[in-house]
Amino acid sequence: MTDLELTYLKSLSKQYPNVAAASTEIINLQAILNLPKSTEHFLTDIHGEYEQFNHVLKNGSGTVRRKIDEEFGINLSDKDKRALATLIYYPREKLHIVQESEENMEDWYRINLHRLVQVTKRVSSKYTRSKVRKALPSEFAYVIEELITEKAEVQNKEAYYNEIIHSIIRVGVAPDFIVALSNLIQRMVIDHLHIVGDIYDRGPGPHIIMDTLKAYHSVDVQWGNHDIVWMGAAAGSKVCIANVIRFSARYGNMRLLEEGYGINLIPLATFALDTYGDDDCRVFGINYDGNYDVSDLSLDEKMHKAITIIQFKLEGQLIRKYQEFEMDDRLLLDKISPDRKTVRIGDKDYDLKDTFWPTLDTSDPYALSEEENELMNKLQSAFMQCEKLQKHVRFLFSKGSLYKVYNSNLLYHGCVPLDENGEFKKVTIHGRDYAGKALYDILEYYARKGYYSKDPAEREFGRDIMWYIWTGPNSPVFGKDKMATFERYFIEDESTHTETKCSYYRLLDNDEVISKILREFGLHPDYSHIVNGHVPVEVKKGASPIRCGGKLLVIDGGFSKAYQDKTGIAGYTLVSNSHGMRLVAHKPFESTESAIVNESDIFSDDISVEIYPMRRRVADTDIGADIRDQITQLEELLSAYHEGLIIERD
């Protein structure tokens, strides 16, 4: 045994000071290895749809209803099962409705408390008593533990449990106890949550989703391109800030910035009115829903135009600064002919739909005017000083990454850049070439520098990289040849709007390519999967989320309402438990109120991706590997005690 190993074991002995303590922990850990693998839940491309997100989180993509079916079978009607499921999802709201209509609340409490206890027993059965105890709400921990723990020493168990429930009702805490049990069930059905990118943009409530995730018991995030642009904005990247505001304006979502994050947009509104007050800004229409205040429409369109022109200028500055980005085709402001009111793209001139450009200096088209520069300084300060946004972005950095390898699954939002032959594409970053996993790693490294580095040059480059990750043609979370924003605003000819996906999307069913990607990230292609989001699966056109014989799962099915006409459904989610993996297709979510009042749910089709021949145990997971390492270390500590190398303590 080396001196270093002995030093480590002495440190470990502080936690396990004698043979009995170390032996007990080995026995405990060995037992945990034989428990069933816990349930993982995968969601992607949420895009601010917080009500649907919260509902899917509460029902575990049908996991709660499955547990109810398993527990009660034919002994409970479908109507009663739906009522029980709704109570578990929305206990406070459902209680309020029941209390207004139910004549005998004592009977209702008794029946539903018994049912909730049964479900709680089932969902907690795969966990250690210690883990369950840690999840119990403190105010009812003792009582819940009594109800869900079998007591061999109690002769008349039924009378014992009935008396506990009777006392809960008699002392008036039944409503709070029902809420506590319901929340515990939600907590126990899903052990770990994976968000495979794109929390932000389009929908109204990404900030609400972020608050929910921050409070969630176990979660990781793979950054999507719509997340990274917000992260760049929080880091102070002016070009990312312009993109974030433009997107919010385009989708009638300025309230997110002003009310959700408290970012002052008055300087932008003032600038927009001063600069574009006489312009109808018709090209900059707003995609809004029934919750939008149309009295803001004219001002929002002017703000939309103002920030869009600034965005094109700032992007041009970066493209000219970094030739390695290979984005010269996006330099279009210098191709505008004000006299002819056209823009040249490639070898063709196109008429412009909007020709009022009062801040464009034709001698230096990518330079901000003095007023634009002053505005961006104010907006940069507002984003960097927004405490709530900074907390959310720090959470994304601490719990997130560009990819994750977890329990033999490779999770990433977009793609792995490939050339036409399916080989990993070489991309130049800071003068060096990277491909495959190395490209992911270097981009994440610089993104973190862009937020955390104290070195001004490092931080600036990192900010610029975050913008590149958002929109660059070789970015693994974008995966297209260009973002045709300029063309969509200013050119009628829709052929210019086309954004061509990279080779990865053409090769999704190529077993050789997909297996090579899995091996690149250290996984065995025979029993591993890629879980992917980013590109909505157009189910209505016959597209399948299961690709390459089940090795690749594309689970973006239109969670965002903006995509549901295109996909035909309202998103996929993925559930992985000890029995296998299943995809869940969701129907459009009407509203939380409808889900409560009508006891409706939104999961529809359930697609089995893989059924394990033998039930998976904790021993088969990444946590299991960590536990085996702990057992090895504890066994070495035992040997040190037995050999007298370390002295036992009481």
Asked if residue 496 lies in contact with residue 484, where contact means CB atoms within 8 angstroms, the answer is yes
Q: How confident is the model at residue 585 (pLDDT cuts 50, 70, 90)?
A: confident
Taking the C-alpha atoms of residue 119 and residue 81, their distance in angstroms, rounded to an integer, is 11
Q: Which amino acid type is present at position 638?
A: L
Taking the C-alpha atoms of residue 436 and residue 521, their distance in angstroms, rounded to an integer, is 8
Residues 56-103: tens digit of each pLDDT: 999 998 899 999 999 999 999 999 999 999 999 999 999 999 999 888
Asked if residue 511 lies in contact with residue 551, where contact means CB atoms within 8 angstroms, the answer is yes
Contacts of 351 (CB under 8 A, 6+ apart): 341, 342, 491, 492
Please identify which residue in the block is written with the tokens 């050789």.
Answer: 512
Asked if residue 43 lies in contact with residue 195, where contact means CB atoms within 8 angstroms, the answer is yes
Asked if residue 17 lies in contact with residue 638, where contact means CB atoms within 8 angstroms, the answer is no
Give the mean pLDDT of 476-503.
Answer: 95
- At 337, which helix (H) or strand (E)? strand 336-337
Asked if residue 627 lies in contact with residue 83, where contact means CB atoms within 8 angstroms, the answer is no
C-alpha triplet 230, 478, 321: angle, nearest 5°: 75
Task: Provide the CB-side half-sphere exposure for 372 (13 A, CA).
Answer: 26
Contacts of 39 (CB under 8 A, 6+ apart): 60, 63, 189, 190, 191, 192, 575, 576, 577, 578
Q: Is 237 helix (H, G, I), strand (E, B) or coil?
A: coil
Q: Is 96 helix (H, G, I), strand (E, B) or coil?
A: helix
Asked if residue 532 lies in contact with residue 41, where contact means CB atoms within 8 angstroms, the answer is no
Q: Is 122 helix (H, G, I), strand (E, B) or coil?
A: helix
Largest pairwise CA distance in the chain: 95
Taking the C-alpha atoms of residue 618 and residue 623, their distance in angstroms, rounded to an integer, is 7
Residues 108-147: tens digit of each pLDDT: 999 999 999 999 999 998 898 889 999 999 999 999 998 8
Q: How confident is the model at residue 155 (pLDDT cuts 50, 70, 90)?
A: low
Q: DSSP alpha helices (H): ranges in 322-353?
A: none
User: Would the pLDDT of 626 be above 60?
Assistant: yes
User: Would the pLDDT of 368 be above 90?
Assistant: yes
Residues 180-191: tens digit of each pLDDT: 999 999 999 999
pLDDT for 316 equals 98
User: Would the pLDDT of 559 be above 90?
Assistant: no
CA distances from 633 to 7, 224, 609 (A): 12, 38, 37
Taking the C-alpha atoms of residue 287 and residue 18, their distance in angstroms, rounded to an integer, is 67
Residues 636-649: tens digit of each pLDDT: 999 999 999 999 99
91-95, 151-155, 599-603: which range is least confident on average?
151-155
Helices 105-124 and 63-72, interaxial angle, to 10°? Answer: 100
Strand pairing class (348-351; 400-401):
unpaired
Asked if residue 647 lies in contact with residue 615, where contact means CB atoms within 8 angstroms, the answer is no
Asked if residue 95 lies in contact with residue 174, where contact means CB atoms within 8 angstroms, the answer is no
**DSSP 8-state class, residue 418:** B
Taking the C-alpha atoms of residue 472 and residue 225, their distance in angstroms, rounded to an integer, is 10
pLDDT for 627 equals 96
99-103, 315-319, 413-417, 574-578: which range is least confident on average?
99-103
Q: How confident is the model at residue 621 (pLDDT cuts 50, 70, 90)?
A: very high
pLDDT for 44 equals 93
Strand pairing class (192-195; 219-222):
parallel
Give the mean pLDDT of 202-206.
Answer: 92
User: Would the pLDDT of 478 be above 70?
Assistant: yes
In the chain, the percentage of residues whose pLDDT exceeds 70 is 97
Taking the C-alpha atoms of residue 525 and residue 517, their distance in angstroms, rounded to an integer, is 9
Hey, what's the torsion of the CAs at 497, 502, 506, 510, to 10 degrees?
Answer: -170
pLDDT for 123 equals 93
Taking the C-alpha atoms of residue 447 and residue 233, their distance in angstroms, rounded to an integer, is 12
CA distances from 487 to 281, 345, 352, 445 (A): 16, 9, 9, 32
Asked if residue 585 lies in contact with residue 604, where contact means CB atoms within 8 angstroms, the answer is yes
Give the mean pLDDT of 492-510.
Answer: 94
The 10 Å CB-count burial string (b at 16+, else e) for 31-61 is: ebbebbbbbbbbbbbbbbbbbbbbbbbbbbb
C-alpha triplet 238, 243, 246: angle, nearest 5°: 120
Residues 35-54: tens digit of each pLDDT: 999 999 999 999 999 998 99
Residue 236, both tokens: 């102070």
User: Would the pLDDT of 476 be above 80?
Assistant: yes
Contacts of 453 (CB under 8 A, 6+ apart): 459, 462
First CA to last CA distance, the chain: 25
**DSSP per-residue string spanning 170-197:** HTT-HHHHHHHHHHHHHHHH-SEEEE-S
pLDDT for 152 equals 57
Asked if residue 468 lies in contact with residue 319, where contact means CB atoms within 8 angstroms, the answer is no
Residues 221-273: tens digit of each pLDDT: 999 999 999 999 999 999 999 999 999 999 999 999 999 999 999 999 999 99
Residues 439-470: tens digit of each pLDDT: 999 999 999 999 999 999 999 999 999 999 99
Q: What is the mean pLDDT of the chain?
A: 93
In the chain, the percentage of residues whose pLDDT exceeds 90 is 82
